[in-house]
Each structure stands twice: as structure tokens, then as C-alpha cells.
Amino acid sequence: MVVLSKRYLKKTPDGSPEEDVQGLFWRVAGAIASEEAKYAASPWQPEALARKFYDLMVGMRFLPNSPTLMNAGTPLGQLAACFVLPVGDSMDEIFDAVKFAALIHKSGGGTGFSFSRLRPKKSRVGSTGGVASGPVSFMRIFNTATEQVKQGGTRRGANMGILRIDHPDILEFIACKEREGELTNFNISVALTERFMQAVEKGEDYDLIDPRDGSKRGSLSAPEVFSLLVRKAWESGDPGIVFLDRINRDNPTPALGAIESTNPCVTGDTWVMTADGPRQARELTGRTVPLVLDGAVHPSTTEGFFVTGVKPVYRLTTREGHSLRLTGDHKMLRAAGETGRLGATWVETANLVPGDKLVLGDHRSLAAWPGKYGLAEGYLVGLLLGDGTLKQDKAVLSFWTPAAVANGDPFPRSGVMEAAFAFAKTQPHRSDFTGWVGVAGRDEWRMSLGALKSICHDLGMSPGNKRLTPEVERCSSEFSRGFLGGLFDADGSVQGTRQKGVSIRLSQSDLATLEAVQRMLLRHGIASTIYRNRREAGQSLLPDGKGGVKAYAVKSQHELVIAGENMARFREVVGFRDEDKAARLEALLAGYKRRLNRETFLATVEALVPDGEETVYDVQVPGENRFDACGLVAHNCGEQPLLPYEACNLGSINLSVFYDPSAPDGVDWAALGETVHLAVRFLDNVIDASRYPLDQITEMVRANRKIGLGVMGFADLLYLLRIPYDSTEALTLAEKLMETVQAEARSASKTLAAERGAFPAYPESVYGKRNLGPYRNATTTTIAPTGTLSIIAGCSSGIEPLFALSFARHVMDGEKLVEANPHFVTALREAGAHSDALMEEVTRKGSIAHIGMLPEALREVFVTAMDIEPVWHLKMQAAFQKYTDNAVSKTVNLPNSATKEEIREIYWLAYELGCKGVTVYRDGCKSNQVLCTGDGAPADPAKPQSKVRMRPDIVFGFTQKVKTGLGELYLTVNEIDGKPFEVFATIGKSGRSVTAKAEAIGRLVSLALRSGVEVADIVGQLKGIGGENPVFQKKGLLLSIPDAVSWVLENRYLQGQTVRDETGNLSHPQCPDCGADLVFEEGCHVCKGCGYTKCG
């Protein structure tokens, strides 16, 4: 009641409550249920539904997020908990985000930002000629603005700030909260990529990428940066980590998201199929591109393809001859086997292995595309490439046929000659053009065409350079068909038997020509395979043109093979004009009694090899999110994990109320399912009822209608069921509970879609593309922090274990009221172990793990956060994550004695278990914790010594060299009785000003040591002071000369010492409202006494 009265009840102008708890729940229920009247197909009347919603809340089965409880049915009417705002790389965009954040905080919401788009520190600013100050400096502006704005008149807002691990300013970001009082209104997290984690595993460097142009701005050791993250988490709990690629993977509406990540890319020479014909990526920048995939047109964004920088690339080759050059993080569509697209998944190129099946574009339904030239020109160019000569003044076609007269009567019996002559006559020619002319003494016929020479020149050919050029590929579909027909008439063949297999083949010594022919065929829906080096280079006996033979040097021969149903497709689309080849193909196909082998449009990975560095490109394809890249299906650029202007509409189900001792497994599953359906309807109505502070937010929220239904009271349910949190039985129950919540939530969303229609972005979502819906909501489940809600509901927070079984709540007149978990008290009484003395001990320690007199079964079940090994925290998070659309909020609480290596293992296990992020909190790691005695009274401050100790004439010590950004620092520390007594700091070749500062620091530290100041206090003052030139070395990141001094003193003398109170317990920060201890769970400090929360 205290929490509701102080933070949620509607108040009069003088601050007095004007409603009671029942009135609050009726206000909220009525406001949300009234939205039902908008939907004619709803089976509910608003009044009846309001009663249902009221019963849900008053029975503590479900509670919506705090803004809904505060503002539903009030003039403010802003009901969402958190919002995501984009931060662009311009002053206008940055300060728009500041303004929007202030409006959101004023309305009662929190904000999340990714600062990954901001250019790095010291980048040039073209408009002013100045230099950029970097993401961290702008974060301070956001933090200051937050400090000044009260949320709906009750509290300051909270911010989440994220930066990608490959941003050039990542080291500054990781250290940005080291100094006391910095960015107090921010939680920060580093977005880790799969590439970074793989580099950590392999002990390699990774690249830093400028977000403006995708260029490489340096590199860092991945293991060292990972160690820095671990150290910072050990020291202060900041920053947390999120696994960016996993969040991207589960984004159901990628088409709505702007690019937040550094883009995976392809090289500029990549062939892309468009409605305007084949084009290379570098040609398609700065405009909307009508991309073609599987015969259908899908427009890109207005940017078209865009440069993302110069990056290392790989050459991906397949056994069938396809090849593509791209970055290792570009995703390709990998089939599940020989089943084609069924079950296909996106896989980063770097993770492909030989034998993987990749999906090819299937363009059989693509009718035609425009472009240069037509069928006639194509056929003539194809013949020329196969059997012809390109001279300075003309192009000469050659054809060999015995017993035929080329012109006159009788007309030659060659379909090739007939077709070529007919096509030639459509071109400009001299009046005396005679067509084919026989060569005396040989069975060769020639036709010279000046117009064909001009066409070839226009297509990039020249004498001595007769080849299949990019300009040839860009021509129209009719030209392409004609070209392939002419080339196969000249150099193609039909081989094999029905018993051994029939195929159409084309041999060439130029592998690049065959690769281009393969691409051209595939655009017409004809798949083929290239066999390299069918005949090795060497010498061969060939006709010498004089009736004899002669040994000639020959190049390697490669062969393109068309088989299966592709042969029938070739006959229909391209065909032979050579009668012998056409007749043989027809006869062999007619003889097949069974259907020809079906084409699956798959290619088998052969190799992936590094192929240098190159300017690379990418594209966004809204809705489809993929494109045809050299015939292979490639993903477009990565999606932003948190969509711009998106809002969280959250609510939580109290699992503990579904305990049913009469049920076989102790859970009333039917009641849980009914509650989920009502909760989903409630949250969908919240979207309509909420008055969002920005039009952009309204548009985005109502486009995808995401809701986040979560849970709380899980630890209480385990207590009731007598199941230990750290047990396989608990993990099994967790999965079953969340699987049920998710399944019922999706079922409810489908029901709402039938009544109200799918969310507007559904056709472009993964659900729409896979025909999995329709759904009313793009996502339905999220396990969000429930600190205050769980206090109202009287249950444990989220999926967290209890922080303490008993605690002291501070009440009026300085008195304390002890509150204990009721399920624990019941169990004690049942065991006959309850006593005032025992409860006093439990209140003092929070746990019973150390009380050996209690039954072991009791101690195993009633565990607290600190009693549970870290691995079980993570296993539980992963169990719930398995059936949760979005992230799971969970903290791995650690005792102060936890080591950095333990945190490293936690991070790595979180990665291996598939978690989307992880937050660790080592008890006592925050430097601003208040010293308390065991009973909560402030400890007496240490009395300073009255005089400075005199220096002996001779003292001994050591000198340590430390690399700083201003030069080599030589730090001499002299000791007395093994303790530091004085410090001298000297820095070489850095100028008088720097030298003077270093000396001053040494003198002041010496004075402090000789005055009795503890080393820990000196380290606390110096550590984290920033400088202009931070430097990374084996010790980690050193920010400045004072920071380097603190490092030497800390590593030499402290070795992990932490101040404890007189009982041996770590002190905790105190609630500024009521004075009770704050606990850290779900990423925030929470007061269990009055409901105060502080994130950041």
C-alpha cells in the first residue's frame, strides 16, 4: 500500500490521494477496456471486460507496467514504459534526440539509444572544418538533460546507451562510467558481434569500423578488449554486454529497421539482377533499384546500393562453378539439405563449410527485361565469340559445312547460316552485301559485317580482345537469348545417352567466359555446372589449314554442362538452330520415359578463401531483405536490433498465484492460459489507449503493435513447490512455463488478428513471408524488470531468486519493520524451526545457507541470489530465453570474493547458451557504497592523523615503467615496513607542463601517504581520471598519468581488498527515500521497502 500510495494513486493538487487501491485498478481497467468498443468483431462488451481486467489486477495475477498504472484514465495518458530513439550523425539529429528524450521522460517513459552511428572522436566535420567530439561526449549531454526532467512529476528517467564493439571509440565508452558521478542516468552495454567473439576465441585482432563510411580505422586485440570488459564488470558492474547478432536474428520486422550495425557487404563487381536487367553493384548507387529475386520485383530503399568502406573480402566458390566476393559477415541462404528452400536459414559467410548447400535464384517466372539490342544482334555476337574474327574495319563470321552452297540456289541446308544471314540483313549493310561467301578449297563459309564490328565495339570488344564483356551481360533479355543461341550453335554440343545421361555442353579455354555464360543462363531459369580443367594445358595435333595436322600449344579446357530438366528449359528459351544438335536433343529428350531430374536450384560450397581488401557495397530491400548476388541468394544489410521510435508495452504475470497443490505438478495450467489470453488483449488495447509523446512513435508502435508479456514470482513458485532454484527440475519447469506463456500469447494474438486484423507491418515481417500468421502483434513476450510491480504484487521479482529471505523495512520515526518471505516462514513453522532469534539472524545475513542447524532440504530450497552458483543463473536465463521473443532481464549476482576469471567464464557461458545479453553484479563493487555497521548505523569516519610523518634519510623501494599516452612514465615508490611511503613520478620527453603535472601528482600522493591516508582511498581518487591520449597495454586501458599511478598502487598493494562492515557483510547503497538497503537485480537498484528504483 505504501508503494501504491506514494507512486501510483491519483492525487489532488495538494498531493493527497484521491483514490484508493480499488479505485486505481478500476481506473486502469475501465480506460483499457473502453478501447474494445473500436472493434465491432470483439466478443466483449467494454463493461464486462473491465470487470475481467479489474479481477486480473486486484487478484495480482497480472499487472501492467508502471506508466499504465500511473497514467491510464488520466489526462497524460502515456502508457508505455520505454522508447528507442535513433541518434543520427548530425547536430540536428543529435539534438532532436535530446529533445525527444526530454519529452518522453516528462511523460513517464525511459529511453534507449544506440550511439553507434556517431562518427568517432577527432573525425573531421566537413561543415565547420572542426573535429568531432565522439559518442561519449554527447552521452553526457543526454545525461544532463535527463537530470533536469522529472517523470510525470515523480522521478527522473532512465537511459540505456549502447555502442558497438567495433566502433573506434569503444575503449572510451567502456571506461565512461569509471569516474564517480559520471553518466549516473545511464545503464550502458557493449554490443558484441559474432565476429568479435570468434576473434576472442581464436586470439585474433578485430577491426574498428568508422560508421560514416565503413572504412577501417584501426584494430584491437579481441582477447584484450574482452578482458577489459571483464575487468570493468568486476570493478563496477558496467558496462553490460548484449549479443547484437542474436537480437538481429529475432527481429520479426527487419524491414522497419534502419541500419544500426556495420553492414555486411559485397564487392562492386557483384552481378545483381534487376528489372532493368543485370547490373553490377557499383552501378546501382543513389537511387531506388527494382531488384529481382525468383522472378519477382522488390524495390530497394531510395539509397540503392551504398558504399560501406574498404574491407577484407573472401571469394566464395561452389562445386557448380558459381563464385561471389563478399565480407565474412555477409549472410547467405543455406538450405537444410537437398530440400531446396524448405528450412533454409541465414548463415554468415565466414561460418560456411564445404558441403553446405546454398540457394540459387530461380528466375523461371521472369518473362523479360529491357536493354540494348535484340535477338538478331545477340545471335550474331554469340556466333562471333564462338567462331569469328574481329578486325579493325569489320567482323567476320565463319561456319564450316560440307556440301552446301552459301548463297543462291539451292540454299544451304544449314539452319545456322540461314539464321545468321536473316539476322545480318536486319542490320545496316552495303547494297552489294552478299552474305555468306565460300572459301576456296575449304568447307568454310564466311560473312563479313561492318555493323557487327560497330556493335562489338559498343560492347567493349576490340581486335585481339574478343571476349564476353560486362556490357554483353547488361543487354536485353532478347539479346541474351540470342547470344546464348549463337554461342551454343558455334561451340556447344549434345552428348550422352539415356542410359548414361544426356547433357548439353559448352567448352571454353576462358573460364571467365563460362562463368558469365552460367550467370546468363541462370537469369533465364537454366541452372548449369562448370567443370574446371577438363583438359589440361599442353600440346595437341590440330588441322594446319593446308590439309594436314600440326602440333599446337593448347590452353586448359573447361566445360559447362546443362542437365536434367534444365535441358528442356534450354530448348524452350534458347534452342539450337543447328539442325543436327537440335534433332539430337529432341530425340534424346523424347526417349525419356520418366520425368527429367527436377532442378532444386542449390549450389554446394566448395571453398572460402581470403581475397584481399576492396571497396564494398550493400543495400536494403524492405520486406524481402535479400537479393540475387551473382546468382546466389544473399541477405541485405543487417537490421537495427532496436527499431527507431519503438516503445515497450509491457506487463507481467505473477506465476506464484498459479500454484495449485491439487494439480499433478502443482501448477494450474488452464488458469495460466486464460490469464495469458486476457493479458494479451489488455496489452493490445494499451497500444490504442496510449497517447505517445511523438508522432513518429505512434506510427511505429501501431505499425508493429509489439507487446511484451513477461513473468514474475518465479522464485516464490519454486518455494511453494519445494524445488531448488539451482536444479534441473527448476530449469525444466522454467521452460515449460515460458513455453506455455509464449504459445498461449501467440494464440491470443492470432485470435485478435481475426477480430481486428494483423499488425500493419505483417506482410513485410518474417511471419508474413513464411505464412506463419496472421498475428496481431509482431512480438508478444519479454521478461522485463519488475522491481516495483513485484513489490505491489507481493512476489519475487521477474525470474530472479530472492535477494534476501528477510529484510528490514524502514518506517516512520526511524523504526524498522522486519519483513520475511511468507513461504519461507511457513516452511520454518512446518519444520518446527521458527524462532525470533533465527529470524533475527536471517534478517542480518539474508540467507540460511550458513545455518547448519536447519534441515538440509530447507537450505537447498530456500536459496538466495548469492547462494546460487553463476552457472545456474545463466542456465535459468537461457531456459526462459528459449521461449521469449525479446530479451530476458536477469542479473547474475556474485559475492564480493568473485574473481575476474569467474566473470570471464560467465560471459563466455552466456554466449554459448544463446543468451542475448548478460548483466553481472559483484556485491560491493560500486565505489559509492555507504559504509554501514551491522545494524545499519553509519560507521565512524576514520580520524585523520594530526601530523605528517617525517622522511628518513634512507628509504628503499622500486621503480616501474608504465606506458602512457604522453610518454613513458617512471614511477618510483619507496616503502617503510612494506607499505608505500612516498611516490615520485617522472615522464620523459613530454615538455615542461606535463613533467610539472607528473611531479605534482607524486608530491600530493606522497603527502597523503605520509599523513596516513589509506592506499585504497588514494587509488579511489586517482583511478579513472581521463586524459587526452588513453593507451591500451597489457594491464588494460590507462586513461592518464593519475590513472597509471593508481594502477601501480592498486596492483602492488591492494590485491582486491574491499571495505566491509563490522559484521563481515558488504555494505550496500541506501535508498534516498526511506534509507533501506538497495538490492541490485534485473539491471537496477531496487528498494524493497518503498519501491524506489534507480537504473544507471
Higher pLDDT, 1007 or 318: 318
Structural domain contains residue 974: yes
Structural domain contains residue 689: no
Higher pLDDT, 997 or 578: 578
The residue to which cell 628518513 is assigned: 952
Residue 1061 confidence (pLDDT): 35
Mean pLDDT of 1066-1087: 62
Residue 1060 confidence (pLDDT): 34
Q: Euclidean distance between the first and final Cα of the chain, in Å?
A: 27
Q: Are residues 492 and 617 in the same domain?
A: no
Residue 307 confidence (pLDDT): 72
Q: Which residues contact 196 (CB under 8 A, 6 or more apart)?
A: 165, 166, 206, 222, 225
Last residue of a domain, one of 1021, 1036, 1054: 1054
Q: Are residues 472 and 571 in the same domain?
A: yes
Residue 816 confidence (pLDDT): 60
How does pLDDT run across 670-697, given as a tens digit for each residue? 999 999 999 999 999 999 999 988 888 8
- Least confident segment among 295-309, 604-618, 644-658: 295-309
- Least confident segment among 182-191, 207-216, 452-461: 207-216
Residue 255 confidence (pLDDT): 40
Q: Is the peptide bond before 1030 cis (omega within 30 degrees of 0)?
A: no
3-class secondary structure, 206: strand
Given a contact cutoff of 8 angstroms between Cβ atoms, the answer to whether 121 and 134 are in contact is: yes
% residues pLDDT > 90 (the chain) = 46
What is the helix, strand, coil percentage profile of the chain, to 5?
Answer: 35, 25, 40
| 633 has a pLDDT exceeding 70 | yes
Residue 720 confidence (pLDDT): 97
Q: Are residues 496 and 354 in the same domain?
A: no
358, three cell numbers = 546454398
CATH number for the domain that contains residue 457: 3.10.28.10
How does pLDDT run across 433-479, given as a tens digit for each residue? 888 988 887 778 999 999 999 999 999 999 989 999 999 999 999 99
Residue ranges of alpha helices (H) inside 602-727 are: 669-689, 695-704, 714-721
Q: Are residues 446 and 468 in the same domain?
A: yes
Q: Are residues 439 and 527 in the same domain?
A: yes
Residue 999 confidence (pLDDT): 87
| 787 has a pLDDT exceeding 80 | no
How does pLDDT run across 113-140, given as a tens digit for each residue? 889 889 999 887 765 667 888 999 999 9
Which of the 8 DSSP states describes residue 539? E
Nearest to 1065, CA basis, from 800, 797, 841, 855: 841
Residue 81 confidence (pLDDT): 78
Residue 59 confidence (pLDDT): 96
Residue 604 confidence (pLDDT): 95
Residue 1077 confidence (pLDDT): 65
Residues 510/514/519/522 CA torsion (nearest 10 deg) = 180
The residue to which cell 492470432 is assigned: 750
Mean pLDDT of 339-346: 70
Residue 368 confidence (pLDDT): 92
How does pLDDT run across 722-753, given as a tens digit for each residue? 999 999 999 999 999 999 999 999 999 999 99
Residue 1075 confidence (pLDDT): 54
CATH number for the domain that contains residue 628: 2.170.16.10
What's the whole-model pTM score? 0.58
Given a contact cutoff of 8 angstroms between Cβ atoms, the answer to whether 452 and 380 are in contact is: yes
Give how many domains the chain has, as a whole number: 5
Q: Are residues 399 and 506 in the same domain?
A: yes
Q: Are residues 406 and 318 in the same domain?
A: no
| 405 has a pLDDT exceeding 70 | no
| 941 has a pLDDT exceeding 50 | no
981, three cell numbers = 611511503
Q: What are phi and psi of 727, to 5 degrees?
A: -145, 155
Q: Are residues 114 and 182 in the same domain?
A: yes
Mean pLDDT of 800-813: 74
Amino acid of residue 316: L
Mean pLDDT of 870-879: 93
Name the maximum alpha-carbon separation found in the chain: 127
Structural domain contains residue 712: no
- Which pLDDT band, with edges at 50, 70 and 90, does 592 fall under? confident
- Which pLDDT band, with edges at 50, 70 and 90, does 36 fall under? very high
Structural domain contains residue 948: no
Higher pLDDT, 650 or 594: 650
Residue 223 confidence (pLDDT): 95
How does pLDDT run across 1051-1073, given as a tens digit for each residue? 888 864 433 333 334 445 556 55
Structural domain contains residue 873: no
Higher pLDDT, 63 or 893: 63
Structural domain contains residue 16: no
Nearest to 228, CA basis, from 1036, 922, 909: 1036
- Least confident segment among 387-391, 578-582, 754-758, 814-818: 814-818
Structural domain contains residue 101: yes
| 183 has a pLDDT exceeding 80 | yes
- Least confident segment among 259-263, 794-798, 927-931, 1063-1067: 927-931
Range with top average pLDDT, 562-576, 587-601, 775-789: 562-576
Structural domain for 1003, as ranges: 956-1054
Q: Residue 300: exposed, middle, or buried by beta-carbon count in 10 A (0-12, 13-18, 19+)?
A: buried
Structural domain contains residue 54: no
Q: Are residues 275 and 163 in the same domain?
A: no
Higher pLDDT, 28 or 924: 28
Higher pLDDT, 81 or 465: 465
Residue 257 confidence (pLDDT): 38
Higher pLDDT, 893 or 928: 893
- Which pLDDT band, with edges at 50, 70 and 90, does 537 fall under? low
878, three cell numbers = 537461457
How does pLDDT run across 765-779, given as a tens digit for each residue? 667 766 777 999 989
- Strand positions, DSSP E, 86-228: 110-114, 150-151, 155-156, 159-164, 186-192, 205-209, 216-221
Q: Residue 653: exposed, middle, or buried by beta-carbon count in 10 A (0-12, 13-18, 19+)?
A: buried
Quote the mean pLDDT of the chain: 84
Q: Are residues 256 and 273 in the same domain?
A: no
Given a contact cutoff of 8 angstroms between Cβ atoms, the answer to whether 1024 and 965 are in contact is: no
Crossing angle (nearest 10°) for helices 669-689 and 46-58: 120
Report d(CA 81, CA 66) in Å as an integer.
7
Instruction: Compute the Cα dihedral for 293, 297, 302, 304 and give only its sign.
Output: positive
CATH number for the domain that contains residue 259: 3.20.70.20
Report angle CA 1089, 1094, 1095 to the nearest 5 degrees.
Answer: 140
* Exposure string over 28-57, b if 16+ CB within 10 A, otherwise e: bbbbbbbbbeebeebebebeebbeebbebb
Q: Which residues contact 194 (CB under 8 A, 6 or more apart)?
A: 243, 245, 329, 348, 351
Q: Are residues 527 and 421 in the same domain?
A: yes
| 538 has a pLDDT exceeding 70 | no
How does pLDDT run across 954-1005, given as a tens digit for each residue? 667 788 888 888 888 888 898 887 788 889 888 866 567 788 888 889 899 9
Q: Are residues 150 and 254 in the same domain?
A: yes
| 905 has a pLDDT exceeding 80 | yes
Residue 860 confidence (pLDDT): 96
Residue 938 confidence (pLDDT): 33
Mean pLDDT of 811-826: 74
